[in-house]
Amino acid sequence: MKQKKKILFISPEMEYTGALRSLLEMYKIAKELGYDVAVWSAKPGPFEKEYHAFGCDIRIVPDRDARSSRTVALIREFDLAICNTVLTDAFARVCCRTIPTIWYIHESVNLSMFITGITQRLDWLQNSRDMVCVSEFAAKRIHQYTKQKIAIVRNCMEDVSGEYSIVSPGTRERVRFLQLGDIYAMKGYDVLLDAFLQMPPDYQSRSELLFAGRIVPAPEDYGKRIVSEAEKTDNITYLGALTASEALSAVAETDVVVLASRGESCSMFAIEGAMMSKPMILTEDVGDNYLIRGDNGYIVKTNDADSLRDAIIRMIDRKDDLKKMGDRSRMNYEEMAGMDLYRREMGKLFRQCEKKNTVAFKMERARNTIIANELVCKIRLCKKRGLRDTSRRILKHLWPMTD
């Protein structure tokens, strides 16, 4: 019997994030396609139970152990590694020296947050040939830091709408708007609150705003300020940090999904909204605003409360049209974010397992072994800083005969 190919998924954490929901979709497809799959995480977290529901136990492997001989020995047993998000760079550098590797980058506009002052991560972003991202929008942002080729596989989501009681948009007395996601500045919650509070009182009385997400520890004061401002207004409600199932229930029960983000590679929340047949309001800097096509929503200017306010008002004025708009969103989901497309794209990625023992990959592995070497990385960094004397000292350490 032919032995199953083995895929290793690596995550930086197990929190409730879009990147982790995307990874779970990949995990389920890999299992469905007959692969033997394992999942590692650098940190434990509440999202682990979502994997446990599918029979997957998470192995905790901290970043500091990525280069240990034991970790490397375990990595060698797999045929492919998928390192999820830019934060797994330490594992991506190690895995690519041994097995075919995909560095699956979800970040885009917020990429600078995760590379500023972290020289090795920036260096690998500039030199890795294993990068995949989730949208054309994200690829453009990543190309600000690297000239390497970046493959694109758009996020998709399994259709679970049948498991929830979906409220038909526009049937309530008040139009309900919902935004989900971690609470930090990039998500634009301050813009959303400003837009809502700028509406005339009669529009505020005809609507309600709900939002949910964990308060990101740094800077924590942003999240606390947003929640505090929401508590001052009767028709704005903070739902707290939700589980995946609770989040989907909230989407099912809303009228309009809104994402005021200042930068989003490919929002799983937007896909959930389209899947649940909801009209949508997204900013220009949301990577999957291609889901707004035809008459199913509005794309507004980024970081512009006036533009967002006007879109919210139009949704309230068009309350009787929201059901028809939501039906259009559902059609767009089926065409552009459904699982048939995702299975095909993931199947192509997973087939990189086949190249592990090829001559071509042996050459690729040799290249990666040199390029990902920590001392070689230091040489590159020294050259960029103009420290040629330091570069020579490191070279002499590597090759004593170097002149």
The predicted pLDDT at position 402 comes to 41
Q: Which residue intervals of 14-53 are DSSP H helices?
A: 18-32, 48-52
Give the side-chain half-sphere CA count within 13 A for 135: 24
- When divided into structural domains, the chain yields a total of 2
The predicted pLDDT at position 392 comes to 55
CA 212 to chain centre: 17
| Range with lowest mean pLDDT among 54-58, 256-260, 371-375 | 371-375
| 292 and 304 share one domain | yes
| Range with lowest mean pLDDT among 18-22, 37-41, 62-66, 85-89 | 18-22
CA 235 to CA 41: how far, in whole Å? 39
Please identify, among 282, 313, 337, the residue that sits at the C-terminal boundary of a domain: 337
The predicted pLDDT at position 386 comes to 65
Q: Which residues contact 39 (CB under 8 A, 6 or more apart)?
A: 8, 9, 10, 11, 23, 27, 51, 56, 58, 59
pLDDT mean across residues, the chain: 92
The predicted pLDDT at position 383 comes to 75
7 residue type, one letter: I
Residue 389 has pLDDT above 80, yes or no: no
Mean pLDDT of 9-16: 95
The predicted pLDDT at position 16 comes to 87
Mean pLDDT of 272-301: 96
Task: List, for residues 192-202, the tens digit of each pLDDT value.
Answer: 999 999 999 99
- Higher pLDDT, residue 337 or 400: 337
| Range with lowest mean pLDDT among 104-108, 298-302, 384-388 | 384-388
| 182 and 87 share one domain | no
DSSP 358-373: SHHHHHHHHHHHHHT-
The predicted pLDDT at position 2 comes to 66
CA 359 to CA 60: how far, in whole Å? 33
- Higher pLDDT, residue 80 or 111: 80
| 182 and 97 share one domain | no
Tell me, yes or no, whether 379 lies in a domain. Answer: no
Minimal CA–CA distance to 134: which of 106, 156, 157, 109? 106
| 197 and 307 share one domain | yes
| 348 and 332 share one domain | no
Mean pLDDT of 251-257: 98
Residue 189 has pLDDT above 90, yes or no: yes
CA 7 to CA 353: how far, in whole Å? 8
Q: How far, CA to CA in Å, does 139 sit from each of 97, 121, 151, 234?
A: 24, 17, 8, 41
Cα angle 258, 260, 261 (rounded to 5 degrees) comes to 125
Residue 204 has pLDDT above 70, yes or no: yes
Residue 403 has pLDDT above 60, yes or no: no
CATH number at residue 280: 3.40.50.2000
| 56 and 91 share one domain | yes
| 150 and 231 share one domain | no
Q: How far, CA to CA in Å, does 36 sit from each of 5, 7, 39, 54, 348?
A: 6, 6, 11, 13, 16
Percent of the chain at pLDDT exceeding 90 = 82
The predicted pLDDT at position 375 comes to 83
3-class DSSP assignment, residue 176: strand
The one-character DSSP state at 164 is S
Residue 397 has pLDDT above 80, yes or no: no
Residue in this structure with the two tokens 């690519």, named with its chain if needed = 96
10 Å Cβ neighbour count for 356?
18
What confidence tier does 129 reach under pLDDT thresholds 50, 70, 90? very high
3-class DSSP assignment, residue 235: coil
Residue 381 has pLDDT above 80, yes or no: no
Tell me, yes or no, whether 385 lies in a domain. Answer: no
| 144 and 246 share one domain | no
Tokens of 226: 């947003």
CA 380 to CA 401: how far, in whole Å? 20
The predicted pLDDT at position 396 comes to 56
Q: Which residues contact 95 (CB under 8 A, 6 or more apart)?
A: 8, 10, 75, 81, 83, 101
Tell me, yes or no, whether 318 lies in a domain. Answer: yes
Q: Check: CB of residue 13 under 8 Å from CB of residue 239.
A: no
Tell me, yes or no, whether 394 lies in a domain. Answer: no
Tell me, yes or no, whether 397 lies in a domain. Answer: no
Q: What's the N-to-C CA distance of the chain in angstroms?
A: 56
Tell me, yes or no, whether 262 lies in a domain. Answer: yes
Please identify, among 337, 364, 394, the residue that sits at the C-terminal boundary of a domain: 337
What confidence tier does 217 reach under pLDDT thresholds 50, 70, 90? confident
- Higher pLDDT, residue 32 or 389: 32
CA 261 to CA 264: how far, in whole Å? 6
CA 403 to CA 396: how far, in whole Å? 8
Q: Which residue intervals of 96-143 are DSSP H helices?
A: 111-115, 119-127, 136-142
| 282 and 358 share one domain | no
Tell me, yes or no, whether 383 lies in a domain. Answer: no
Tell me, yes or no, whether 134 lies in a domain. Answer: yes
Residue 6 has pLDDT above 50, yes or no: yes
- Higher pLDDT, residue 402 or 314: 314
What confidence tier does 113 reach under pLDDT thresholds 50, 70, 90? confident
| 271 and 170 share one domain | yes
Q: Check: CB of residue 192 under 8 Å from CB of residue 260.
A: yes
| 37 and 132 share one domain | yes
320: left (phi over 0), alpha (psi -120 to 50) or beta: alpha
Q: Check: CB of residue 277 under 8 Å from CB of residue 257.
A: no
Domain enclosing residue 320, as ranges: 161-337
Whether the ω angle into residue 12 lies within 30 degrees of 0, i.e. cis, is no
The predicted pLDDT at position 182 comes to 92
Task: List, for residues 290-318, the tens digit of each pLDDT value.
Answer: 999 989 999 999 999 999 999 999 999 99
| 314 and 197 share one domain | yes
What confidence tier does 261 reach under pLDDT thresholds 50, 70, 90? very high
